[in-house]
Amino acid sequence: MPTLVMKFGGTSVATLDRIRRAAKRVGVEVAKGYDVIVIVSAMSGKTNELVGWVNETSPLFDAREYDAVVSSGENVTAGLMALTLQEMDIPARSWQGWQVPVMTTSAHSAARIEDIPPENINEKFAEGMKVAVVAGFQGVSPEGRITTLGRGGSDTTAVAFAAAFDAERCDIYTDVDGVYTTDPRICADARKLDRIAFEEMLELASLGAKVLQTRSVELAMRYKVKLRVLSSFEEQSDEAGTLVCDEEDIMESNVVAGVAYSRDEAKMTLVSVADRPGIAAAIFSPLSEAGVNVDMIVQNISDDGRTDMTFSCPTDQVARAEKAMEEAKTRGDINFHDLVADQAVAKISVVGIGMRSHTGVAAKMFRVLSAEGINIKVITTSEIKISVLVERKYMELAVQALHEAFELEKAA
């Protein structure tokens, strides 16, 4: 039997009624002859509530117990989904992570999946089970304790199962009907994409297009899992949603696939650090040890052997970054005159694999921003992405202007 993985996000299992609706979708695929692995999230809002309870009980919580509590939302929906399917006369069984087992690292609250031996579930499929309902987001550590995969982790569970069971496709059912050229809440002309390349999706996901957990896209790209994002609230055809696939499977595409933004960026500048070999390592090693996710980095030209070093990081990590830099200064590892944090910036990026073969995208982006009177504070580029930091108050305007200038409302 061919295998299909179907993942239902929190809004798709938010009520018993919605679970029934999702189960009907599963029934349609079972009727086509698939063995189906259903991955469920917790009911929407549940995980936030559980995280809140943990924080209230113990602000400096033991991460093993955090995982014990926070993983529980998925146990409920997995059992309810299995019961609902059984009520429809579809042989179904629920599986918690440890029962499969989904073997992970011991990095509690941010564990990585290491292996999913398919034998236990396959044995049940051979005995006539039609649907395995697996609790997403969770696994078991080598020490035998429950782990979780980080927020949004059930997307990664789904892709990992699709790879482990060599599934024909991994369908991610969510509350939007696909991946858009930009956020439709900001830009009314945003267009749903029929297909998007793994690499583009990876950039968009990590830039804050919250449709898929970044790690799930990395996994899908590595194992060539055909990934489809679609809405559980609309009638479905086989062409519904957005297919995330290999670049070779996309016939025509715009040079720029999408415009992404990230609202919560901060620009940090170390003013006047000594420009000597090893200075970047002395700055960025302690930042990384402190868990600061540094994104853009710019070193200015130096004057008299001193230079300014600018980097960006999420706003909620500014305090951690400041502490790490002050400590490095106290230890004598670095020396700077001042650390200036600008918390009123946003990052805007244009992404597209077409940039590999087309020049002029950066120049056009800068012209568009300049025509709107938007000053660029920092620029970084990669092969398929150009990102700029701008004042946060211009974020929406910048996204709209770029979407229009690159004509993303039109298909290629």
Q: Identify the CA nearest to 276 among candidates 337, 334, 338.
A: 334
Q: How many CB atoms lie within 10 A of CB 162?
A: 28
Buried b (16+ CB within 10 A) or exposed e, 258-275: bbbbbeebbbbbbebbeb
Interface positions with ligand ASP (CB under 6 A): 10, 41-42, 47, 73, 136-137, 151-155
Which element (helix H / strand E) includes 66? helix 63-70
Interacting residue with Mg ion among 27, 136, 139, 152 (CB under 5 A) = 152
Kindly state whether residue 153 participates in binding Mg ion, applying the rule CB under 5 A.
no
Q: CB-wise, 40 or 378, nearer to Mg ion?
A: 40
Q: Are strands 113-115 and 103-104 parallel, antiparallel or unpaired?
A: antiparallel
Out of Mg ion, ligand ASP, none, what residue 138 binds, judged by CB under 5 to 8 A for its kind, is none
Q: Strand, coil or helix: what is 307?
A: strand
Q: CB-wise, 10 or 258, nearer to ligand ASP?
A: 10
Out of Mg ion, ligand ASP, none, what residue 153 binds, judged by CB under 5 to 8 A for its kind, is ligand ASP
Residues 6+ apart with CB under 8 A from 326: 339
- Which value, in Å, is the radius of gyration of the alpha carbons in the chain? 23
Minimum distance between the CB of residue 44 and ligand ASP, rounded to whole angstroms? Answer: 8
Out of ligand ASP, Mg ion, none, what residue 73 binds, judged by CB under 5 to 8 A for its kind, is ligand ASP
Minimum distance between the CB of residue 10 and ligand ASP, rounded to whole angstroms? Answer: 5
Q: Strand, coil or helix: what is 390?
A: strand
Q: CB-wise, 11 or 253, nearer to ligand ASP?
A: 11
Q: CB-wise, 210 or 337, nearer to ligand ASP?
A: 210
Out of ligand ASP, Mg ion, none, what residue 368 binds, judged by CB under 5 to 8 A for its kind, is none
Q: CB-wise, 174 or 262, nearer to ligand ASP?
A: 174
Minimum distance between the CB of residue 41 and Mg ion, rounded to whole angstroms? Answer: 7
Binding-site size, Mg ion (CB under 5 A): 2
Q: CB-wise, 27 or 152, nearer to ligand ASP?
A: 152
- 234: burial class by Cβ within 10 Å (0-12, 13-18, 19+)? exposed
Q: Strand, coil or helix: what is 242?
A: strand
Minimum distance between the CB of residue 376 and ligand ASP, rounded to whole angstroms? Answer: 34
Minimum distance between the CB of residue 25 and ligand ASP, rounded to whole angstroms? Answer: 18
Minimum distance between the CB of residue 231 and ligand ASP, rounded to whole angstroms? Answer: 16
Q: In the chain, what's the furthest Cα-to-Cα distance?
A: 78
Out of Mg ion, ligand ASP, none, what residue 47 binds, judged by CB under 5 to 8 A for its kind, is ligand ASP
Q: CB-wise, 39 or 197, nearer to ligand ASP?
A: 39
Which element (helix H / strand E) includes 348? strand 338-351
- CA dist 186 and 233 (Å) reads 22
Binding mask 8-47 for Mg ion (x = CB under 5 A): -x--------------------------------------
The CA dihedral of 392, 397, 398, 403, to the nearest 10 degrees, is: 140
The values of phi and psi at residue 236, to 5°, are: -110, 140
Minimum distance between the CB of residue 105 and ligand ASP, rounded to whole angstroms? Answer: 17
Out of Mg ion, ligand ASP, none, what residue 352 binds, judged by CB under 5 to 8 A for its kind, is none
Minimum distance between the CB of residue 11 and ligand ASP, rounded to whole angstroms? Answer: 10
Kindly state whether residue 258 participates in binding Mg ion, applying the rule CB under 5 A.
no
> Residue type at 81?
M
Buried b (16+ CB within 10 A) or exposed e, 243-256: bbbeeeebeebbbb
Residues 6+ apart with CB under 8 A from 141: 104, 105, 106, 108, 111, 147
Out of Mg ion, ligand ASP, none, what residue 137 binds, judged by CB under 5 to 8 A for its kind, is ligand ASP
Binding residues for Mg ion, rule: CB under 5 A, are 9, 152
